[in-house]
Every structure is written in C-alpha cells, then in structure tokens.
A and B are shown apart, each in its own frame.
Chain A
Amino acid sequence: MKSNSPTVRILVIAVLVLLSIAYLMPIYVMVITSLKSLEEVNRANYLVPSTNPQWSNYVEVLLGSPSFRSQMMPRLLNSTIISVSVTALAAFFGSLGGYYLSRSRTLIARLLFILIGIALYLPYQVVIIPLSILMSRTGMNQSYGGLIFSYLILNVPLASVLMGTFFLGIPRELEEAAHVDGASRVQTFFRIIAPISMPAYASVAIIIFTQVWNEFFLALTLATRNTQTVQVVMAEAKGTTLVLYNLQMAAALVAIALPMLLFLFLGRYFVRGILAGALKG
C-alpha cells in the first residue's frame, strides 16, 4: 500500500511538522522548565532552555521544601509498592482465569465472560462507596492492603481477558500432547502454557502497571496519609504551588518517569497489550 506521489510527500512534511509541534512542545517545555529558576520562568521565554540548569529543583521536589511541601519521594515508594503488587497478583490470577475462559466452553464460562465483558471497563464511581466503607471499617485503608485489594478487584477481570486473548492463539495440540503423556491440566498450564506465554505476561503487566500507577479517582478517595500515591500528591501540588511552574514540571516528570521508561524500552509489549485490549491477540 505504499505510495510515493508528490501529494503524499507534501502530506508527509505537513503531518510531520504539525504532529511534532503538538506532541513535542509539551514534553520539551516540561523538561526545560523543570530546570529553570523561578526568575527565569518569570521572564516568560518558555521555549528557550535555561543557561544555568537548576538540578536542585528535582531535589526540592523529591525531598520537599518550604515552597514545595508535598514530598514526592515517599509517594513514589507508595505508588511503586501498590502498582507492583497489583500487577503481579492481577497477572497471576488473571492468567489462571484467562486460561479457564479460553479453554472452557461450558455455560458457566459463557455467563462469566458476559459478566466480565460488562465489568471490564466499569466506571469506578459505581463501586467507590462500598469500597470506601469496606476499607475504613476493616482498617485496610491504613495500609497498602486496601488500595491493592481494591485495584485487584477492578483489574483481575481485565487481566484475565487480556491473557485469555493470548491463550486463544496457542495451538491446542501442545496441550493434547502433554495430556497424552499423563500431565494434568494444572501441570500443563504451569509447565508448558505459562512459560511460553512470558511475552503475554509482559504485555499485560505493562498495561496493568501503567493503569494502576496513573489511576487517580480511587487513589484520591481511598488513600490515607500513609498510602498517598504519586497522582494524588501531584494534584495536591498543583493546587499549592500555583505559579511555581518549574517545580510543577519537575514533579510532573518525576511522576511519569517510571511508566515512560517502560514505554520507551518495552514499547513493543505496550502496543501488544493495547491491541489485546482491542481483542486483537
């Protein structure tokens, strides 16, 4: 489907310029502003990089200061613990459930699939009140357990459909051969299916990790002082720093650093995860 007509070449240039401005400008301004002093920011030459980069802005944002009270460091730790736990558990339980859904043709499997299909992109507003009651009654909101558990309920269905989409693509002959050799389903799953599905696990893990890391509504409502996540503290910082754009941008870059690194180095898995979510395994 390739074409090399002059119209296409003009289009290429136009699209390149337009998209580069729209997508590079925000990230460029973020990076150069995060390194400016407040005076430099106030000079309003937003597109010109600083002559004297202020790396101390990052120290200020991570450890807190009188003008930036919302220390990012402990919240980075909170977000990491919560997101990694949810990702590992959701990928594990999701792969078990996804294997069931991809292999069973029973009525239960069909009904369950419909229930999951509806719940897959459930608006969190319809579960938040019971979750916040449960968390405060059981005291789970005081520890990471509360958020981890809540995110698990909401992400295991998604993880199972994503994993199941990949499992549907694995030829049955493989399992039948293992079955003839006397292996049980559980053995077949853990010794054959799971090991060859590592790329699928990677894709699902990246999608779930990014989703949980970036989630705001649940974290805003359920997090307590000790479990506050990066997103919640970002929102708080935006309200309290107002015009300290240099610190705001440094904080924003700190908040996106981890998922952005995953995206840049494991982009392939990222794309595969997105496509599995669109049911193209």
Chain B
Amino acid sequence: MHVHASLPDFGCKKSSAEVDKAMAVIDTKTQEKKLAVSAQRQERRQSITDILIFLVPLLFFVILLYGTLFWTVYVSFTNWRTIAPNYELTGFRWYNFLINQPRFEVDIVNNLKWLILGVVPTVVIAIFLAYFLELTPFPKVEAYIRTLILYPVAMSFIVTGTVWSWMYEPQRGVINTALRSIGIDSGFRFATNPGTATYWLILIFIWQYLGFSVIITQSSFRTTELQELIEAATMDGASRLRTLFSVIIPNIRAGLLVLVSLLLISTLKVFDIVFIVTNGGPGISTDVLALNMWVTTFQQHLVSAGAGIGVIIFLMAFILVIPYTIYAFRKWFE
C-alpha cells in the first residue's frame, strides 16, 4: 500500500480508472455470458417442453402399439390353449400345428386370391376410369361419377356385406329376381357355391374400393410435368390410348405404388366381408387368415395358435408395406 501511495497519484488514479473500466468491460461480458447461459437454459427448457408436448404423446402410443405387437409374438411361442393364460414357452409347436391344418392351406390360397383379384382389377379399372374422367368434356358427368362411386367409402363392410348378401341370395336375392323378371334364369349361386364364392366376395370389395382408387389415381395425373408431357404427346399425334400407356402410366408410378400398397394391405386384412356374408362357408371354402385367427383364438381358445396366425398376417403385411414406407420416408425427409 505504501509503495503504491508513493507513486504519482495521477498514474495511480489513471490505472485505477483503467481497472474500473476493464472491470466494467469484464462485468458486462460476464453479464452477457450469464444472459447467454440463461437464454440457453431457457431454450433447453423450451425444447424439453417441446419434447414433452409434441413427441411424448405420440411416443407413448407407438410404444404401446409395439408392446402389444411383441406380446402377441411372445404368446405365439407359448403353450396357451385354454381360456386361462399359460406363458410356458413351447417354441414353434403351435406354428407346426397351424401349418399342418388343411384349413391353413385353404386360407393361404384364398388370401392370395384376395391379394391378386382384389387389387389388380381395381387398379386397372381405376386407371381407365380416372383417365376417362380427365377426358370427359362434361364437368357435371365427372362430378356425378365421382360422388356416385365414392359414397361406399362412408359405409362399413358390415352394412355393404348385409346388402350384398341379399343381392346375392340365389332364390330370393335381388339380382336373380331382377334377371328372372326380364326372362333370364342366370343360375348364379353366388356366395353359396364353394368353388366361386370367394370371387363374389372379392367383387364386393372392388365395388367398395373403386371410388377410393379413382380419387387417388386421378390426383396423380394432376402434376404440371405430366400435363405438359400429355400435351406434347397429343401435339405429336399420339392416340389417347397410346398416351395413357406410354406417357401417363410410366409417370404415375409413385401414385400407383401408394394405391397398390393400400389396397394390398386392405385385402390382406379382410375379415368383415367374409364374416358377414359367408362366415367362411360353405364349409371352409371362403375362410381367410383373419377369420381363422378370430375363430381359433376366441371360439376354440387355442390362443397361442391364434397369436401365431396374427404374427403370420403381420409378417405378410410388413413385407407388403416396406416399399410404401421407404417411399413415404424419402418423400417426408427429402
């Protein structure tokens, strides 16, 4: 202190002023730092609230969903075959049991019929009908047809099935009665003929999903690039059909991928139509995996076997949905 005191006051004062200044600078810097830290904290706190509000609810439901899925997988490897739960592991025992049932083969064949005949004709008719709606010069015709074929999307398969059961009834049904009144004895036995019953069920599905398919197909026509290509093709003198096959169809592949995926999944899951119209009959001729799963689990109480069918349906759905998921992922995060 004494040494300092002997120093010229001026210098000392100056230096103390400088220190003050420096201190002030440091002060504001720390203050800024403190502010920055608190802002950071606030931001972090905000992002925690963000996660709590935006992510957690969705995560909760997705975890539950996958929890039940894996629970079913586990049950399929246990020995649960009465009403009372039994979680003793038995490996593939019930899968072996399932595969050796004649019913399983019938199911696989029928599910394949559904997958092919429920999807291919629907998509083909939808493409032509959508193209037709684009070509038609009468806006009222377009609006009428769109509403006409779309209304079944508001109906349940149970209602559609109830109505069509009656349409199909061989003796007193609407279709055969109407045909008879104009002098045609069709002899159609529809859903009561074991050989063809599944096809008549699939027809109900096509009827119900046609409008849905046309809407999706038509919307994939409506891109500027495609419209320009079509115009160019028309200028070059390409016929309407030629334009459809060599310009339009190759350029709506993405839309078709989505449509085909949605239809495949819907036909794979089919339960309601079969349950309400034929309940798998005559015999087991119209049985499908989903119906078999329900009967096995909830009527025969072979719960492990039922879980096994559930897992098989899921694996098939999983394979079918992969292209859709990849496409959706790319589109979403592009």
Say yes or no: is B37 at the interface (Cβ < 8 Å to chain A): no
The docked-state distance in angstroms from the alpha carbon of A157 to that of B321 is: 15
In contact, A124 and B269 (Cβ under 8 angstroms): yes
Decide if B310 touches A119 in the complex (CB within 8 Å).
no
Most chain B beta carbons < 10 A, residue from A11, A124, A238, A278: A278
How many chain A residues sit at the interface, stated as a range, is 35 or more
Chain A residue nearest to B57 (CB atoms) is: A93
Interface string of B261-304 (1 = CB under 8 A from A): 01001101101100110000000000001100110011000010
Chain A 170-187 interface residues, beta-carbon cutoff 8 Å to B:
184-186
On whether the beta carbons of A121 and B265 are closer than 8 Å, the reply is yes
- Cβ of B167: which chain A residues have Cβ within 8 Å of it? 26, 29
Indicate if the CB atoms of B271 and A217 lie closer than 8 Å: yes
- Say which residue of B62, B129, B255, B266 sits within 8 Å of A115 (CB atoms): B62
A222-248 contact mask (Cβ, 8 Å, vs B): 1 or 0: 000000000100110010000101001
Contact B158 A231 (CB under 8 A): yes
B-side contacts of A139, CB under 8 Å: none
Could you tell me if A156 and B165 are in contact, using CB atoms closer than 8 angstroms? Answer: no
Asked if B116 is an interface residue, CB under 8 A from chain A, the answer is no
Contact A97–B54 (Cβ < 8 Å): yes
Q: A114: CB under 8 A from chain B?
A: yes
Shortest CB-to-CB span from A6 to chain B, Å, is: 12
Q: Are A123 and B65 in contact (CB under 8 A)?
A: no
Report yes or no: B294 in contact with A279, Cβ–Cβ below 8 A.
no
Taking A12-B138, A123-B268, A127-B72 as contacts, is the C-beta distance between A117 and B313 under 8 angstroms? no
Contacts of A154 in B (CB 8 A): 65
The reply to whether B66 and A115 form a contact with Cβ atoms under 8 Å apart is yes
Q: For chain B, give the interface size range.
A: 35 or more
The one of A1, A116, A123, A127 that contacts B62, using a Cβ cutoff of 8 Å: A116
The answer, among B85, B215, B310, for a CB contact under 8 Å with A274, is B215
B314 part of interface (Cβ distance < 8 Å):
yes
The answer to whether B135 and A118 have CB atoms under 8 Å apart is: no
In the bound assembly, the distance between CA atoms of A110 and B328 in angstroms comes to: 11
B68 CB–A CB distance under 8 Å: yes
Contact B69 A238 (CB under 8 A): no
B46: chain A residues at CB < 8 Å are: 184-186
Interface with B: A16-24, A50-58, A64-72, which one?
Answer: A16-24
| List of A residues within 8 angstroms of B307 by Cβ | 129
Judge whether B321 and A93 touch: CB under 8 Å: no
Contact with B along A85-101 (1 / 0, CB 8 A): 00000000110110111
> Which chain B positions have C-beta within 8 A of A116?
58, 62
Chain B residues within an 8 Å CB radius of A235: 158, 275-276
In the complex, residue of chain B having the shortest beta-carbon distance to the beta carbon of A106: B55
**Nearest CB in chain B to that of A8: its residue:** B135
Are A46 and B72 touching (Cβ within 8 A)? no
Counting CB contacts under 8 A, is A200 at the interface?
no
Contacts of A4 in B (CB 8 A): 137
Residue A198 at the chain B interface, CB threshold 8 Å: no
Stretch at the interface among B3-11, B20-28, B147-155, B188-196: B147-155
Measured in the bound complex, the distance between the Cα atoms of B317 and A100 in whole Å is: 26
Question: Are B333 and A30 in contact, with the CB atoms below 8 A?
Answer: no
18 inter-chain pairs at a CB distance below 8 angstroms, sorted by A residue, are A23-B149, A97-B54, A118-B318, A118-B321, A121-B262, A121-B317, A123-B313, A125-B269, A127-B68, A127-B310, A128-B72, A129-B307, A184-B50, A216-B272, A234-B159, A252-B163, A259-B155, A279-B331
